[in-house]
Amino acid sequence: MDQVVNYETRGALAIVTIDNPPVNALSHAVREGLDSAIARAAGDDAIETVLLMCAGRTFIAGADIREFDQPPREPHLPDLLNRIEAVNKPIVAAIHGTALGGGLETAMACHYRCASADARLGLPEVNLGLLPGAGGTQRLPRLVGVELALDMMVGGRPIGARKAFDAGLIDAIIESEDLREGAIRYAGQLTQKAAAVRQTSAISISAEPDSRFFASYRARIARRTRGLLSPELIVECVEDAVSAPFPDALARERERFMRCKASPQSAALRHLFFAERDAARIPGLDSSAAPRPIRSIAVLGAGTMGSGIALACLRAGCEVLLLDSSDEALNAGRGRIEALLQQQVEKGRIQSDEAAADLGRLQLAREFDSLSGVDLVIEAVFENMDVKTDVFARLDQVCKPGTVLATNTSTLDIDRIAAATTRPRDVIGLHFFSPAHVMRLLEIVRGGETADDVIATAMAFARRLRKVGVLVGNCFGFVGNRMLYGYGRESQKLLLEGVAPERIDRVLYDWGMAMGPHAVGDLAGLDVGYRVRRERTDLPDDPCFYRIADMLVERGRLGQKTGMGMYDYPEGDRAAHPSAEVAEMIRAEANRLGVVQREIDDQEIVERCIFALINEGARCLEEGIAMRAADIDVIWVNGYGFPRHRGGPMFYASQIGLDRVYRGICRFRDTLDKRYWQPAALLEKVAAGDSAAAW
């Protein structure tokens, strides 16, 4: 028999073990081996009960996603699971690690389920733009009820063994012994009492919801699932589970699964799945460069960003020293951290003892000499080159040899910062995104002399923080913020051309962005970008460039923190209200600058903002600032609110056609401002069909 599925007997028990490392994915070989093993057990009169389990660190963690773009091969998973469920002998699934996607569907097709106490179970297909396509939408509601089943499938988050047991998803928890022996004992008990075969498909859905439930549920999830295909189809499948015969509902589930699989959304989400994995692979990095040990971390600056970085490190179990120049700043920083931890306790995300332990690993200091023994310093002070070079010169004097010196700058030249030290090989950029304890992205910036083992350390540190680390090169704004300038430039110019800020934001939000650009500016604080622009010496000689944003700051309209920015926020209201004052300011300034205001349709708004992103991304690629187009996608999806279901700006360009993007940029070059709309050379090559050009 194929080695990925092993078969053995112990008396009247057949033990079928899947061994397909690393996560026992349901590859064709596994499906074939499992089909053969179950048929063997079913046909053996000496076998009374079958135990299905997995070797290694986890139960089946899902399908083999690499096979999705290949021609399907029998046995197909839905057919295999129907055959498993139809076996006239009790089949027990023993779950450890995770049972996800097709793995949980396999377990639900078995007649009984037991699990280790730390197991987690879920149907996260929605995260790949899919729905459970092997009976999951039909069997899960029968086991746990309609509402929890929908929450698990639409939310895509797994649940723990205890919740699964309480809900009826599993029948026993193996608490204090080896799972294999505990599962064998449990299966033996079923054999002794001649337990009946219990087909999940035959279970009636209890507490059948009334006609209003599904409408209410759709309304509840509307905001977080906007623009997505698979959540709605999941709800439709569960409606069928309630109202249609199992075989009919199963057939409709399969039809909807195939529709999802063929959709651009699923292609985009699967692209990101692999892109986030590939981001950790650094071409050309010395394979012998091992990460430096990081036992203690210092964060310089106890402001909002520094506090968030410190909290992210504390949540990862690190010892953290928070340094600032005054007791007032330090106490405020500690207070922010404590408040954020308390919020997580109140939301049930962590236990109170975890929060206390995290806070217990935090130390406060005012003197640079206290940094002499730390392994990693993360500077998060004012975004000003003189301030940062002064800090790094002092770090060079007090830190021990081998300490990694990291800057959280979002735009400034890493090499100039490193030049303030005598050890530029130890300097790297760690660009966190706000709020730093929440945002998944960590943009890791390689300087001209950054050592390979420092890069390896930064990548390992990102994983320790459970963030997606992406290595980029050094230039103004690196990848993310460099591209942001093109996006922002067009959203600002559209204001002068007569498009209201609320309309720009609505169009881009409806297209899929997490927030519109003007709402983002007000949230972040318009003074942040204003200060960065004051630092630059390469800005275009263009009186329209970010003109409205600059005027707002100069009038004291900094955003939500001052109660007014691009929008008004009366009496602390966080909701954005269009401002008559700003509308008049924009009209008058457009008139002063001689900008003609005109009718602009929604398509032009989207294309100008998104094509500007793509064009600058292409320049980042051709200059080597980004290693891969997929890295750019990972950055923009995880750091800037680009819609995941569009796959990132570079993947989106490929989906709609690089030639279309190229033609659009040329059209804007000819009708708008030539300074900004020259197509990137790489884009021109790939649009012309140059297969050797790396996109």
pLDDT digits (tens, 9 = 90+) for 87-106: 999 999 999 999 999 999 99
| pLDDT above 90: residue 71 | no
Read off the pTM.
0.94
Residues 82 and 14 in one domain: yes
Check 32, 85, 105, 379 and give the catalytic one.
Answer: 105
Picking from 472, 501, 522, the residue at the C-terminal end of a domain is 472
Q: Let me know if 105 is a catalytic residue.
A: yes
Instruction: Please state the rounded mean pLDDT for residues 107-127.
Output: 98
pLDDT for position 1: 45
Locate 689 and state its tokens. Answer: 């069909």
Q: How far is CA 20 from the centre of its chain?
A: 26
Question: How would residue 2 be classed by pLDDT, with cut points 50, 70 and 90?
Answer: low
Q: 419-423, 531-535, 674-678: lowest mean pLDDT where?
A: 531-535
276 is catalytic: no
Per the structure, the count of domains in the chain is 3
User: What is the rounded distance in angstroms from the CA atom of residue 377 to the CA atom of residue 296?
Assistant: 9
Ramachandran area for residue 557 (φ above 0: left; ψ -120 to 50: alpha; else beta): beta
Q: What is residue 470's predicted lDDT score, i.e. its pLDDT?
A: 98
Report how far residue 264's alpha carbon sits from residue 656's, in angstroms, rounded to the nearest whole number. 10
DSSP state of 570: G
What pLDDT shows up at residue 398?
97
**For a pLDDT cut of 90, what percent of the chain falls above it?**
94
Burial of 562 (0-12, 13-18, 19+ CB in 10 A): middle
User: Which runs of E-coded beta strand occur in 248-318?
Assistant: 296-300
Per residue in 375-406, pLDDT (tens digit) is: 999 999 999 999 999 999 999 999 999 999 99
| Domain coverage including residue 416 | 296-472
Residues 106 and 254 both lie in one domain: yes
pLDDT at 211 over 90: no
Residues 138 and 205 in one domain: yes
Nearest to 230 by CA among 204, 271, 264: 264
Q: Is the domain of 485 the same as that of 457? A: no
For residues 487 and 462, membership in a common domain is answered with no
Report, in angstroms and rounded to the nearest whole number, the Rg of the chain calculated over CA atoms. Answer: 28
Instruction: Tell me, yes or no, whether 511 and 411 share the same domain.
Output: no
294 close to 405: Cβ distance less than 8 angstroms: no
Average pLDDT over residues 630-634: 98
Whether residue 113 is contained in a domain is answered as: yes
Taking the C-alpha atoms of residue 346 and residue 327, their distance in angstroms, rounded to an integer, is: 28
Of the candidates 32, 48, 85, 125, the residue annotated as catalytic is 125
Q: In this predicted structure, what is the pLDDT of residue 330? A: 97
Contact between 322 and 362 (Cβ < 8 Å): yes
Per-residue pLDDT averaged across 332-339, rounded?
97
pLDDT in tens, 225-263: 999 999 999 999 999 999 999 999 999 999 999 999 999
Q: Which of 472, 499, 529 is the last residue of a domain?
A: 472
- Mean pLDDT over all residues of the chain? 96
Residue 206 — very low, low, confident or very high, per pLDDT cuts 50/70/90? confident
Domain boundary among 261, 286, 316: 261
